Amino acid sequence: MNAPRVAAPAAVACLLFGGFALVLAPATARAAQIPFGPGDSFTKLEAAKPGDEVVVAPGTYAFRVHLTQLGTAASPIVIRAADPKNKPVWDLSATLVENAPGSSTTGDRGRGCWQVDGGTGYVIQGIVFTGCHNVDKNSAGIRYFNGADVTIRDAYFHGNDNGLTGGDPNSTAVVEFSELAQNGDVTATAPTHNLYIYGGVFTLRYSYVHDSVQAENFHVRATNALLEENWFARAKSYEGDLMTSDDPVGLLQSMVVRGNVFVQAAQPDNTGQVLAVFNDTKTAGTAFDLRVVNNTFVGAGKNSAFVHLANADKTPMQAEISNNIVFGTTRASLVDDASGIVVGGSNWLPTGAVVGPLVDTVFGTDPGFKNAAQKEFTLGPASAAIGKASGIPRTRPSLEYFKDETLARRYRVRDSVRDIGAFESTTTGPSYGAYDPPPVPDAGPPPPNTDSGIPIPAPGGSSSGGFPSGDGGVDGGNGAAPGSASSGCGCGARAADGSAAGSGALVVFVAAALRRRRRRRQRREGSA
């Protein structure tokens, strides 16, 4: 079993106090418990101070909330449902959000039913957000900004312009055990999503995100993002992306996508891609680093590229694709310009798939799911994905999503990472939800560009050199179309601290592949 991820003391304090088991929080961390019901006003909710716990009674509420207080990890401001099985509902569908009662008088007051405006240390748990619409068709259940710090747990966002929005250079948000479904507006001019993150640091885990109405399940512009152990399903367009941060300067943006399940819609609007990276604002100095590890993708046979580096403008981009089950498509990756870098190995893909630079691909006609018709994507005993995962990536998961779209928004400890995909065939034991004491505290997203050692080109740099095709796979590269020449190894790359960096991880992947090939050849020759 992998070593558990250990949270820093402050993170543990927030995690424990925030709702896994409130009785575990130290008594000194709470100033007051404040009962809140349908007869109370927004002023009472907004006045909660660090250490306070606002306990919200069941009912329907139709006013805006503007949160600005400054809590901390050790003394958070908790706003939670009194009864998680009968959640309070914020439903502003009777009017536009900007016209609903509320304390804020700013011009952007309609951007969210709840807005965390510079507020810190907030833990929001067990609340439903629906009917959040404004005149510009870009409102959200919750919007956070202006350096906000918020943890959202066991929330349900549905039927809003956007489910959750927010983020700027100094903001941090963690979303856990939550459901975001059927958010979006088909009449909106700008795309609307289940999740739209503008910047900052963002983490999404143990959540069920599905059936976006207009665009993606997640649209992320964060500087540093971690999406782990979630279930994403049936986005209207494509599942999600990493695009240019709304932060005003060019920078390196990093996203880790690990241990997730992706179920493609039967007829998605965009059949060209599943996960995309794009410098849509053409901001100079921007570079992207995407790590996609131990995910399970179940496609609809549209031949969508699992990972698309949309770098026709030569923005430096790099993706690591390792230990994934990629089913229902024959394209592992698509790179628009040869300056983009794709590395990785030990993925399962259908026989005949174009793998480009990926090594040690496991091919087959069926990945061996236990019951794909019932969305049971754990591995059966005959699966060829069992025992074939690479140990090279440092971003491998220690947990896994549990269980499907019916029993959702839970996780359990992954037994090991020997199997390809989001599930380990040997994993057993209990699962954990939002109100269970966590067996494995988590420190949050890894620092950018330090998790697996694969370098990214310095902004404005170029790549050259060669990379072998996957062992036994179809020769081809990561250029504008599958089958074109392979791109290079980033000889001019720099490390996160700005110092010169070699292509060490690329060499590791190549060397490992060559060693495996040599051992197989020696075994064959020895048996001849």
Q: For residue 31, what pLDDT is reported?
A: 74
| Strand runs labelled E in 430-505 | 456-457, 493-494
Q: For residue 440, what pLDDT is reported?
A: 67
- Can you read off the two tokens belonging to residue 90? 């914020």
Residue with tokens 């310009």: 337
Residue with tokens 């060499």: 507
Helix or strand run (H / E) with residue 523: helix 504-527
Q: Helix, strand or coil for residue 401?
A: strand
Cβ-based neighbour number of residue 338 at 10 Å: 20
Q: For residue 438, what pLDDT is reported?
A: 85
Q: Is 261 among the domain residues?
A: yes
Q: Per-residue pLDDT averaged across 241-257, rounded?
A: 89
CB neighbour list of residue 271: distance below 8 Å, 6 or more residues apart:
302, 303, 304
Strands, sheet with 65-67, edge to edge from the N-terminal-most edge strand: 65-67, 114-117, 140-145, 162-166, 195-197, 218-220, 240-243, 273-278, 305-310, 333-335
Q: For residue 427, what pLDDT is reported?
A: 97
Helix or strand run (H / E) with residue 510: helix 504-527
Eight-class DSSP state of 97? G
Q: Is 511 among the domain residues?
A: yes
- Give the pLDDT band of residue 318 (cuts 50, 70, 90): very high
Q: Helix, strand or coil for residue 12?
A: helix
CA 419 vs. chain centroid, Å, equals 21
Q: State how far the Cα of 479 lies from the Cα of 502, in Å rounded to an integer.
A: 22
The backbone torsions φ and ψ at residue 474, rounded to the nearest 5 degrees and listed phi first, read -90, 125
Q: State how far the Cα of 218 lies from the Cα of 228, in Å rounded to an integer.
A: 13
319: nearest Cα among 296, 346, 342: 342
Residue 36: C-alpha distances to residues 84, 115, 247, 292, 295 (Å) = 15, 18, 37, 43, 41
Q: For residue 241, what pLDDT is reported?
A: 98
Cβ-based neighbour number of residue 186 at 10 Å: 10
Q: Is 176 among the domain residues?
A: no
Residue 401: C-alpha distances to residues 144, 187, 191 (Å) = 26, 34, 28
The answer, yes or no, to whether residue 248 has pLDDT greater than 80, is no
> Which pLDDT tens digit goes with each residue over 91-145?
999 999 999 999 999 999 999 999 999 999 999 999 999 999 999 999 999 999 9
Cβ-based neighbour number of residue 387 at 10 Å: 12
Q: For residue 365, what pLDDT is reported?
A: 97
Q: Per-residue pLDDT averaged across 378-391, rounded?
A: 97
For 43-52, 188-197, 293-302, 455-464, which range has the lowest pLDDT when averaged over its residues?
A: 455-464
CA 300 vs. chain centroid, Å, equals 21
- Give the pLDDT band of residue 444 (cuts 50, 70, 90): low
The answer, yes or no, to whether residue 348 has pLDDT greater than 90, is yes
Q: State how far the Cα of 158 lies from the Cα of 95, in Å rounded to an integer.
A: 16
Q: For residue 281, what pLDDT is reported?
A: 93
Angle at 521 between CA 517 and CA 524, to 5 degrees: 140
Q: Is 263 among the domain residues?
A: yes
> Which pLDDT tens digit goes with each residue over 385-443?
999 999 988 889 999 999 999 999 999 999 999 999 999 999 999 999 999 998 866 55
341: nearest Cα among 323, 306, 359, 317: 317
Domain of residue 499: give its range.
Answer: 231-528
Residue with tokens 């995100």: 209
**Omega before 403 cis (within 30°)?**
yes
Q: State how far the Cα of 230 lies from the Cα of 202, in Å rounded to an integer.
A: 14
Contact status, residue 239 vs residue 413, Cβ threshold 8 Å: no
Q: Per-residue pLDDT averaged across 144-152, rounded?
A: 97
Q: In the predicted model, what is the mean pLDDT of the chain?
A: 83
**What does the buried/exposed string (b/e) look like for 470-506 if buried means 16 or more CB atoms within 10 Å of the residue's CB?**
bbebbebbbbeebeeebbbbbbbbbeeeeeebebebb
Q: Is 171 among the domain residues?
A: no
The answer, yes or no, to whether residue 11 has pLDDT greater than 50, is no
> Which pLDDT tens digit goes with each residue over 472-510?
222 222 222 222 222 222 222 222 222 222 233 343 443
For 12-16, 100-104, 140-144, 317-321, which range has the lowest pLDDT when averaged over its residues?
A: 12-16
Q: For residue 496, what pLDDT is reported?
A: 28
Q: How many domains does the chain have?
A: 1
Would you list the DSSP string of 229-259? S-EEE--SS-SEEEE--SSSS--EEEEEEES
456: nearest Cα among 265, 308, 309, 303: 309
Q: HEC string of 266-278?
A: CCCCCCCEEEEEE
- Can you read off the two tokens belonging to residue 492? 């001019």
Q: State how far the Cα of 495 lies from the Cα of 450, in Å rounded to an integer.
A: 9
β-pair type (399-402, 376-379): unpaired
Q: Is 204 among the domain residues?
A: no
Q: Is 389 among the domain residues?
A: yes
- Can you read off the two tokens belonging to residue 422? 């989001």
> Which pLDDT tens digit goes with each residue over 256-302?
999 999 999 999 999 999 999 999 999 999 999 999 999 999 999 99
Q: What is the pTM of this model?
A: 0.82
Helix or strand run (H / E) with residue 496: none
Q: Is 31 among the domain residues?
A: no
Q: What share of the chain is helix, strand, coil (3-state, %, to 5)?
A: 10, 30, 60
Residue 344: C-alpha distances to residues 234, 368, 371, 469, 520 (Å) = 26, 22, 28, 11, 20
- Give the pLDDT band of residue 517 (cuts 50, 70, 90): very low
